Each structure stands twice: as C-alpha cells, then as structure tokens.
Amino acid sequence: MALFLGTLLAFGLAWSIGYFLVRALWREQPRDLADRLLRLAAAFGLGVGIVAALDFLWVAAIAKPSRGIVLVDLAVLAVVFLAYRLSRKHSAPAADGSRVFGWTSGGVVLFFTVIALGIVGTVLLRVPDGAWDAIAIWNVHAKFLNAPSAHGWKAMFDPIMEQSHPDYPPLLPGFVARGWLYAGQSIPLVPMTLAFGFTLALLTLITAAVTSARGGILGALACTVLAASPIFLGTALSQYADMPLAFFFLLAVSLLYRADQEHEFRPGLHVLAGLAAGMAALTKNEGCLFLVALIAGRLLYLLLSRSTLKSLAWLLLGMAPIVCVLLCYKSFTPPNYFVAGQGRDFWKKLLSRPRALLIIDSLRIELEQPHSFSVGFLQRTRTWNWHLLASSALILLLGIDRRRFAHRLSKWALALVALGLLADIVGTRVATGAFGWHWSVAIIAAVLIVGLGFDRRRTGHASFLAAATTLVLVNVGYFVVYLLTPVDLRWQLMFSIERLVFHTMPLAIFVAFLAVASWGRDPTPVLTKPHQG
C-alpha cells in the first residue's frame, strides 16, 4: 500500500504543480470542454517535466537524493498556487462555454481512448519492465540518480556505462527517480504509470488541440487516427522517452497556434509553449533539433504576419530555464556519439545517394508494415498495415475544398488520385522491398490534392505555415542526422526509425487537421487576422 501511495504522491504533486502553473500563465477562463482538456493535458506533461528538472537540480546541488525534496516540491506547489490565485484577479471571463462535443463525437473519443488505454495497459502489465531501452537506458539513469552516496549519481558517466547513453537528457529518469524515492522501492509501477499517463495525456491533447482549433467532430477524428495507429500503440507500451517527446512537440506547437488565434496578445501562452519546447529538449536530444525548428517556424510567422519580436521573446523566455537545466546536465556528460563521431567523411556522407535511398526505403517499409522492435510486443491483426493508407485517404478526402478543386482541376485528376490509392493498396499487399512506382504515384496524387484542392485560406495562413514548417524542419533534420550518423546506418534505422516517425506523428495529425475543410461547428471557419504582438 505504501508503494502505491508513494507513487500516487509523486504523480499527484507533479500534476498539481503543472495545473496551477498552467492556470497562472494562461489566465483566460476555459471557454469550453476542449479548453479544459487542453489545460489538463498540458498540466500533466509540464508538471512531470518540472518535477524531473527539480530532481536533477537537487541531486546535482545536494549530491545525493533525499526525501527532504518533498519539501521542495511542496514549496514549488505553494508558489505556483499563489501565482494562480493572484492571476485569477486579472483573468478574463469565459468566452462562450458552449458544448463542443456532441454525443457522437464525445462517444467516439471515449471509445477509442478506452480501447487504446486497454491495449497499452494490458501489454504494460505483461511486460512491466518495458522494452530494452527502458531497462538499459531510462530506468538505469533513474537508478543512478537515486544512488545513496554523495556524488554516487555521477557513476552513470563512467566509461563502463557508455552503452546506456549517459548523455541522454534527464527528464524521464528524473521523474522515475522521484517516483521511486517516494515509493521507497524501484518498482515498475512508476515507469508504467508514467507511460500510461503520457498515453492518456497525448490522446487528450490531440483531441483538445484539434477540437479547440477546428471543432468537436474533427477533434474526435484526430483522436481516432492517433489512437488506432499501430506505431502509437507500440511506442506507448515501450516506456521509452519517445512518447513524452511527441507530447511536448505537439503541446508547444498547439499552444502557439492557439496563441496566434487570440484577439489579444497573451504572453502566458507563449511562455507555456516555450516551457513545453524546453521540456522536449530535456526529454531527448532530438528535442534540441525541435527547438531550432520551432524558432525557425516562429520567425517565418513573424515575417508573414508582420508582427513584432515580442511573441518570440516570450517564447524564448519560457525555454530559457529548462535549457539552463539541460546545459547544467550536459556539463557532466561525455560528448554525444553523433557529435563526437563526425570526421573527414562529413560531406561524403551528407551527399551520399545510397545512404539517402536506404533511409527512404526504410521509411517506406516502416510506414507500410510497422515491423520494428518496439512494436514487437503487440499482437498484430490483419488491419495493421492499412492504417496509414486509410487515415491518409481520409484526410485527403476531408481536405478537398470542393469548389476550389472543381475550378483548378479536371475530373481526370481525381482518376489519377483513385489510381494512386489503388496502386498504393496493391503495392502494400505486394511488398517489393524497393521504393516502387505505386508510392511515387500516391505521393504525386497527394501533393496534387493538397496543393490544388485544399483551402488556401487555411494552408496559406501564417500560423499554419509556422506549424507546418516546424514539422517539416524536424523531419529534414532527422534525415540529415541519419545521413551523418557515425554508426552503421542499417542498424540504426532498424532500431530507431519507427520511433522517429512517431515523434512527429501527433504533430503531423494536428497540422493535417488544421488544413482540412470545416465540419460542423468550427471555432475558426476563416482564420482571423493575427494580432500584432
């Protein structure tokens, strides 16, 4: 019982800190259920991140863990609660409070969330220790952070532990260490609950973010697309840091998109988005790439909307404390293998056509038939390989602006699309092991639909372009990292590509649903002119 209560205390404190922080910085009263869900999901992720950062700072400063840190947690909770109480005096009233979810869309969200959590929960119980990297990297780091002697945690940087990648950032291990400290034992319940919590938080976040931007029906559909994805389910149960990373990617971008739609400039939303982006960097090294991509996206937004640099300054202010914690951690770690492994063959690898083709082919195989390690715990059904095709077709169909498309494209183009989809179906069933013609046709058809058929008022808006630029830049960055990797490329692709695909998958779903045509009650039928913040 004490183990359970200790775990509950760790999660309860983290969530409370996150909740009051979000409410203090996002002063406007929630306007509907989607707004409330967005805040609740953000509170979970940011609370976990803050507790993890505090855990690392405490261990680095005091040299060893101690249960006295509960006082630090309570003090931080008191501070954010006070800030929340003070901010309530200045908070704006709720906008409308109308229902965003009908019975059908609410039922769909509930159904898919329960089913996804059922699958993830079942497999978490079956494999309580998680997949290999959870044992070999994330939970090992947590054990070192809880090492009882003074400076004992620094033993994780010993060359003996090189295989456990001690340079990986400390968000996940920091929170697991804190949970174990409160529970009094290194029990699997803490990382399991964390994986389960981020699964629920990510589903809640995508539903709330899309609903908030595009209405309840599209929000429910976005939840469906994510919850039914085999890559999502496989990643959720592995207890890796990829799920929190994908969560923070989506949280940062969706908060910025939300801030752009407000009629008044709200610095708190930018600070929260900056915190979320910082947390991404504190979760995995890929998060640093995301920081760069996010800032580039925001610069594009500023350029297109002719806004001042104020919003970017608030965003950077939110990032700053977490980036400082990351730099503090990195001051102890050995150099990252990727950075240390670069040599004279830099340009040769960067411009290598065979390497590029190998990456594209691995990506194609992974998308067609998810096969890699982390999804190996799931029993597969016959529908496994159809999800990407079905969801892509759905988004394209929903995205077509009928009148625009009729103007721009003859019906022969639709025949091409139908042929492309048909070819893709045939190609999926008959895997050739090469980047076949069916993929080329499908991609050309999809680009034609998006380019000529989607509503330019949405896809041409600065907020959308900023989000899409971030998404594209992160993926381009991943491609370059694969090109330059100093380790065997085939090996690295085999063990990581599905996780890298997953990192930006929720963000890609969010961006796609921003672009599709309206359905039902749309909070932003035509995007408003952005504020000049």
Residues 214-233 interacting with another protein (rule: CB under 8 A): 217, 221, 224-225, 227-228, 233
CB nearer to another protein: pick between 76 and 421: 421
Number of neighbours of residue 379 by Cβ within 10 angstroms: 7
Q: Which residues from 466-525 bind another protein, rule CB under 8 A?
A: 517, 519
Q: Say if residues 225 and 394 touch (Cβ distance below 8 Å).
A: yes
DSSP string, 101-116: --HHHHHHHHHHHHHH
Site for another protein contains 398 (CB under 8 A): yes
Amino acid at 143: K
Q: CB under 8 Å to 49, separation ≥6 — which residues?
A: 18, 171, 175, 248, 275, 279, 282, 283, 322
Q: Is the dihedral of CA 364, 369, 370, 371 positive or negative?
A: negative
Q: Is 143 in the site for another protein (CB under 8 A)?
A: yes
Stretch that binds another protein, among 43-51, 65-73, 396-404, 455-463 (CB under 8 A): 396-404
Select from 8, 9, 127, 452 the one that contacts another protein (CB under 8 A): 127
Q: How far apart are CA 160 and CA 67, in angstroms?
A: 29
Calpha distance 371→385 (Å, rounded): 10
| Separation between Cα atoms, residue 239 and residue 235, nearest integer Å | 8
> Distances from the Cα of 520 to the Cαs of 101, 102, 276, in angstroms?
11, 10, 31
Scanning 95-103, 266-274, 290-298, 380-388 for contacts with another protein by CB under 8 A, the matching segment is 380-388
Q: Classify burial at 109, counting beta carbons within 10 Å of its beta carbon; exposed 0-12, middle 13-18, buried 19 or more.
A: buried
Q: Please list the alpha-helical segments (H only) found in 430-488.
A: 437-448, 456-459, 462-484
Among positions 94, 110, 115, 431, the unique one binding another protein when judged by CB under 8 A: 115
Q: Which is nearer to another protein, 139 or 496 (CB)?
A: 139
Binding status of residue 61 toward another protein by CB under 8 A: no
Tell me which of 192, 194, 206, 231 binds another protein, using CB under 8 A. 192
Nearer to another protein, 56 or 84 (CB): 56
Residue 523 to residue 511: CA distance in whole angstroms: 16
Site string for another protein, 149-188 (x = CB under 8 A): x--xx-xx-x-xx-xx--------------------xxxx
CB of 319 to another protein, least distance (A): 31
Shortest separation between residue 8's beta carbon and another protein, angstroms: 11
Which listed range, 108-116, 289-297, 350-358, 432-440, lies at the site for another protein (CB under 8 A)?
A: 108-116
Q: Does 355 bind another protein (CB under 8 A)?
A: no
Taking the least distance from each CB to another protein, the nearer of 331 and 381 is 381
List Cβ neighbours of 328 (8 Å cut-off, separation of 6 or more): 56, 57, 60
Least separation in angstroms between residue 11's CB and another protein is: 14
Residues 413-452 that bind another protein (CB under 8 A): 414-415, 418
Of 79 and 414, nearer to another protein (C-beta) is: 414
